[in-house]
Amino acid sequence: MNEAPKISDSTVEERREYIRKRYPCIADCDMCGLCKVFHGMDAERAYDDYIMGKRTFMDVSADYRR
């Protein structure tokens, strides 16, 4: 997967699409585990600050690296 689009060089929709492609829901939580990583949220909700341009992708990712 390519590097996350920089906030200054991308639109909200480009960032949203990046998150959708990077963290696709496969509708099988037992196999995937993303919901657990994101504390019960889907990836778009977890990365909302990045999508809306408030925080970088890496800053938001750091919230879930525990």
Evaluate whether 34 touches 43 at the Cβ level (below 8 Å): yes
pLDDT (average), residues 17-38: 83
pLDDT digits (tens, 9 = 90+) for 39-63: 888 899 999 999 999 999 999 999 9
> What's the confidence (pLDDT) of residue 40?
81
Q: To the nearest 10°, the Cα dihedral for 50, 56, 59, 62?
A: 60
Residue 5 has pLDDT above 90, yes or no: yes
Residue 7 has pLDDT above 80, yes or no: yes
Evaluate whether 17 touches 51 at the Cβ level (below 8 Å): no
